Amino acid sequence: MTLGQRFARFATNAVVRRPALWRLFRAPMRRQFDRLAPSWDSMRRPDFLAPLEAVLDCLPAPPKRVLDIGTGTGAAARLVAACYPEADVIGVDVSERMLDEARRLSDSTRVTYRAADAQRLPFEDASFDLVTLNNMIPFFDELARVVAPGRHLVIAFTGGSGTPIYVPPERLRSALGARGFAEFAEVSAGRGTALLARKS
Ligand SMILES: C[S@@+](CC[C@H](N)C(=O)[O-])C[C@H]1O[C@@H](n2cnc3c(N)ncnc32)[C@H](O)[C@@H]1O
């Protein structure tokens, strides 16, 4: 792993254990992703969305209102919009440069982007019937707040346990289970993994 990737792993582990520590990591992390934004897509492997794509096949019903957190250049948001022609998708990120790229690459008026921090999302409770995270640090309390009852959350890591931003599935299950998520399903595809959870 590069120094930047080691920093992302360190920040992920720290913030998952103690979300309040995010205030220390927010500025350096945003700077890191602002810097990476112009070359981000050229660094992706062609199959990097395979876990997300595979887990979406397990959704029992098409979502209408979708939030992609830590959207980066918007690849996952665009994939979800393409899979669900009835869905409106919002991608949020703390990095303005990433959002600039996402808007530049946008191919649908159903996908919109805004600057927002996953630790404190600017949305009402139960606003979304699908929330996706692709290589993004989960803020469990906010995830539990914005996913509507009976609807779904997807957390994907494109390089499996080798992904710099990675949280093991057992940790995801216990944190989500404690917040009212259940009916977990796990898939592997490409080099990565994804977890689907339903809010009870
Ligand atoms: C590893 S990148 C993944 C980007 C995209 N999901 C992908 O798979 O290509 C992580 C993204 O999450 C964003 N991010 C990190 N922490 C965040 C937070 N607390 N709130 C919103 N975005 C965040 C970063 O700026 C970066 O764009």
Closest atom of ligand 1 relative to the 139 alpha carbon: 19
Could you tell me if 185 and 58 are in contact, meaning their C-beta atoms sit under 8 angstroms apart? yes
Residue 53 is inside which H or E element, if any? helix 50-56
Question: Which residue, among 87, 59, 78, has the nearest Cα to 196 in the 3D structure?
Answer: 59
Answer whether 55 contacts ligand 1 (Cβ < 6 A). no
Answer whether 136 contacts ligand 1 (Cβ < 6 A). yes
Nearest CA to ligand 1 atom 15: 70
Nearest CA to ligand 1 atom 25: 95
Nearest CA to ligand 1 atom 13: 70
Bridge partners, residue 114, by sequence: 92
Name, in order, each residue with C-beta under 8 angstroms of 144's C-beta and a sequence gap of 6 or more: 176, 179, 180, 181, 199
Question: Which residue, among 48, 52, 15, has the nearest Cα to 196 in the 3D structure?
Answer: 52
- What's the pTM? 0.98
Query: pLDDT tens track of the chain, all 200 residues?
Result: 899 999 999 999 999 999 999 999 999 999 999 999 999 999 998 899 999 999 999 999 999 999 999 999 999 999 999 999 999 999 999 999 999 999 999 999 999 999 999 999 999 999 999 999 999 999 999 999 999 999 999 999 999 999 999 999 999 999 999 999 999 999 999 999 999 999 99
Answer whether 118 contacts ligand 1 (Cβ < 6 A). yes
